Amino acid sequence: MRIELAGYNVEVGILERLDAADKDILTPEIFSSAYARISRSAEDITTLRKIAGHDVKKARASNRTIIFGMGHHSVAEHAVFNFDIIGVSRLALEEIESFRLASYTEKSQRYVTLKGDYVQPREITGPGTKDAFSALIGIQNDFYKKAYAILQEYNFKKFPGILEQKGGRRELQNLAKEDARYILSLATEGQVGMTINARSLEHLFRRFFLSKRTEVREIGRKMYDLVYKIAPSIFLFAQPSQFEKDLHETFKNNFSIEVPHNTSLTPKRMKLSKAPLAWGGDKPLRGRVCGAKWLGAPHPRRRQVAGKGENKQKFLSNETKIIDYPKNADDIILASFFAIYNSLDFAEAYEIAANIDAAGKKRIFLDLFKNMEFFDTPPRQFELPDITFQAVISASNFAQLKRHRIATLIAGDYKIELGNIIPESIRDCGLEGEFREIIEKTDALYLKLKEEYNEAADYVLTNSHCRMVIMKMNLREVYHFIRLRDDVHTQWEIRHLAGEILAKLREIMPYSTMLLCGKSNFVQEYENIYRKGVGPI
């Protein structure tokens, strides 16, 4: 066995200090060229890498042949780039972080006290509207500062025990920032460190080229200009195809449903109640009120929904819904074990699993989970059942949900008809009235900007504004999601969402979700099942 370190990230300032004569070889194309030849060469990898490094021009020609001529796009994944993305809007960050196969570390509005910096959309330039936009952002930012100061004192008084702990003051200050930020606009400036391979980056270029927002198109253009001069041979498909260009219009022509502007698209009109569910599901499960019964210790804050009109309140009262799921998920998982480990046809294996009685199934899963720790991931058989849910969430919630990229996340536009999420602490401190007044001003300007500038109007919306999401995850990914998001340290709104999903899944698939819980609840859940002998069945 021989394992060699082939390369690693080096900061660009160090690279620039190298002698000019050596700069031509400072390209990740060497890795793409060398690794592409592994499957068809008798030479060892180290030799192939050295050959590519000695003749960069030839390596680039090889890349073009392999990627373009042979269609082996995956070799571009061996080239990796790091970006400092600074001074972009929260709205743009949502698009930047929508790529699954990349790594991000973002400036958090939960931990950093914001100073009011924001992006002025280039689209909004009309007489009066630019000033109106800036004025409203100022009102939002002033309220943020005011609310942050008040919420700090509120938290200090409400949680004196935490205040006395080491780091407790900072924790309570962060809680104040966490709730005060709900009034901030999506134009608020942020920054993110991003690491992405060339294949995913090329996909980013194509998508950003088609963005309806000037800021996002500019981000894509600047990123392309930075990397193309370094690695031209691996960015051969940076422009969107005709299919990609026409896709939005195709969707619009075939699937668009006209909805009056002053109403929300209700589940009834969407006919969700009649949607076919996988593997025999007969109806969507309705949401139920979030409670400490399955969220663990009661959390100090819960959400308040600000809506307009009867339709909106009716829509939001449905809460999170599981809209598609395998009714027999436990049997599917068991059948996959039987099939693989006994070389059985899956149908035969499934018949075996389905005929095991409830007590027998429970015993199998108890044995499967008996040595699990909170950091353990269930086996890959848990990836077979898919769960799809629908929810209406705020931009604050979406900022966290979007980070779960090994899933299918479809997000609708932000719509003022869907209302706003108001932190309970804002209400408790007597700030709800002022908060709502600002939201009304925000909505009014939004409608005005929407008529003239379309999607650019979204910049004025706040972190409290909502969008509808439909998300599909396999059960293995759900374990990761619930572990992280139904934890006592998690932000309260996404914890509420995770708790709702958890409760429903325990009803649908009781055996495979025995130890589905947040990290902070894991020890107690394990004790309940294994020490006390009281399982969830």
Cα(109)–Cα(190) distance, integer angstroms: 9
Structure tokens at 156: 């200090």
384 part of a folded domain: no
87: phi > 0 → left, psi -120 to 50 → alpha, else beta; which? left
Task: Find, among 161, 526, 98, the residue nearest to 534 by Cα.
Answer: 526
H helices of 411-464, in order, are 424-428, 432-453
Tally the domains of the chain.
1
DSSP 460: G
Residue 35 lies in domain: 12-81
Reduced to 3 states, what is the DSSP secondary structure of residue 159? coil
226 part of a folded domain: no
32 part of a folded domain: yes
The helix (run of H) or strand (run of E) holding residue 193 is: strand 189-197
25 part of a folded domain: yes
280 part of a folded domain: no
33 part of a folded domain: yes
pLDDT at 270: 27
Task: Find, among 418, 451, 439, 442, the residue nearest to 264 by Cα.
Answer: 418
pLDDT at 251: 67
The separation between CA 149 and the C-alpha centre of its own chain, rounded to angstroms, equals 30
The helix (run of H) or strand (run of E) holding residue 409 is: strand 408-423
- Strands 321-324, 303-306: pairing is unpaired
Cα(146)–Cα(418) distance, integer angstroms: 26
Task: Find, among 85, 88, 144, 108, the residue nearest to 399 by Cα.
Answer: 108
Q: Rounding to the nearest 10 degrees, give the CA dihedral for residues 356, 359, 365, 371.
A: -140
SS (H, E, C) 264-280: CCCHHHHCHHHCCCHHH
pLDDT at 525: 93
241 part of a folded domain: no
pLDDT beneath 50, residues of the chain: 257-304, 308-318, 534-537
Cα(226)–Cα(205) distance, integer angstroms: 12
Q: Rounding to the nearest 10 degrees, give the CA dihedral for residues 425, 426, 430, 432.
A: -140
DSSP per residue, 375-398: T----GGGGSSEEEEEEEEEHHHH
147 part of a folded domain: no
